[in-house]
Amino acid sequence: MRQNHPSYPQVALDFMNRDHEEFAALRGKLLDLIDSGTADAIDGLLDELQRHTVRHFADEEKAMQEAGFPVYAVHKGEHDAVLVDMAARIEGWRRERDIAVLRDWLDAAVGEWFVSHVSSMDTVTAGFIAAQRQRS
């Protein structure tokens, strides 16, 4: 079965959970559109996914810096790599218009990255920041 709407864990900060839900919904909407053969709205939704991701990463990074998160550079490094890959994939889609390649990227790479990033780095980061906020 295809995982257009995968499950992922909740973390200790509400703003992150809200953003993760929005990201998962946008990815699911894109995959649903591709599956239903409605390619028209794809460009706009891809832009939205990219804008959302840039803004969400910036918010997480700000929260990490404010809390003095010790492995900020590692988490930020993963964000940067994802943004570079996302920009290249979107550019590739605009150039080639290969819907199978786009689908495969969203389905496999993006889906796996999202679940594993939320389960590991985001879970640890949110736990640290939430504990820090409780102390202060």
CB atoms within 10 A of CB 54: 14
State the nearest-atom distance from the C-beta of 33 to Fe ion, in Å.
25
- 122 in contact with Fe ion (CB under 5 A): yes
Annotate each residue in 13-52 with x if it binds Fe ion (CB under 5 A) or - if it does not, as one string.
----------------------------------------
Burial of 59 (0-12, 13-18, 19+ CB in 10 A): middle
**Interface with Fe ion in residues 56-95 (CB under 5 A):** 60
Helices marked H in 72-110: 72-96, 99-104
Which parts of this chain interact with Fe ion (CB under 5 A)? Answer: 60, 122
